[in-house]
């Protein structure tokens, strides 16, 4: 995985879990053209609600994300790749994502949580434990341009 200064088809974003025994440090989101088009439609739905005191967010089922934990020898070195940022564009070699260590929980119910200001994050839950997993917030406006 390599940090990219230009937009790519994937972002690496910080992630975490409420689990006391499982681990999750990062997530990879696949930014396909179809995904970008769908997010633009979703942003159009929530943008008129910006500034509404009573609106919090909309949730959409969306599985464009994979949650991961660092493997042996703390690889990949997420802190080095992210620096002080919450998310970055990355380039992945073919099949590289399949080599990342996954949480022990079998994750279910992947959702994109979208706010009227255009920020979003993903959530998922352990199928048998209901433990929460989530990504940090990111700006959809930046990703769909």
- Listed in sequence order, the residues at least 6 apart from 62 whose beta carbon sits closer than 8 Å to its beta carbon are 38, 110, 111, 112, 122
Q: Are 27 and 15 in contact (CB under 8 A)?
A: yes
Average pLDDT of adjacent 10-residue blocks, the chain of 145 residues: 94 97 96 97 95 94 96 85 94 93 95 97 96 97 92
For residue 42, the model assigns a pLDDT of 97
For the chain, the structural domain boundaries read 2-144
Phi, psi of 43 (to 5 degrees): -60, -40
First to last CA, the chain: 23
For residue 74, the model assigns a pLDDT of 77
For residue 84, the model assigns a pLDDT of 92
For residue 73, the model assigns a pLDDT of 77
The length of the chain in residues reads 145
For residue 138, the model assigns a pLDDT of 97
Evaluated on CA atoms 135, 4, 85, 140, the torsion sign reads: negative
For residue 6, the model assigns a pLDDT of 94
The candidate with the shortest Cα–Cα distance to 105, out of 89, 86, 125, is 125
For residue 75, the model assigns a pLDDT of 81
For residue 45, the model assigns a pLDDT of 95
């Amino acid at each position: 995985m390599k940090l990219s200064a230009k937009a790519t088809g994937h972002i690496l974003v910080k992630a975490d879990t409420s689990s006391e025994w499982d681990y999750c440090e990062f997530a990879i989101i696949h930014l396909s053209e179809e995904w970008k088009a769908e997010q633009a439609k979703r942003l159009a739905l929530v943008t008129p609600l910006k500034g509404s005191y009573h609106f919090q967010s909309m949730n959409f089922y969306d599985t464009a994300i994979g949650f991961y934990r660092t493997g042996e020898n703390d690889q990949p070195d997420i802190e080095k790749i992210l620096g002080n940022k919450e998310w970055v564009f990355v380039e992945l070699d073919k099949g590289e994502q399949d080599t990342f260590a996954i949480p022990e929980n079998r994750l279910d119910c992947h959702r994109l949580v979208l706010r009227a200001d255009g920020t979003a994050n993903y959530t998922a839950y352990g199928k048998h434990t209901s433990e929460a997993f989530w990504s940090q917030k990111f700006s959809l406006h930046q990703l769909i341009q």
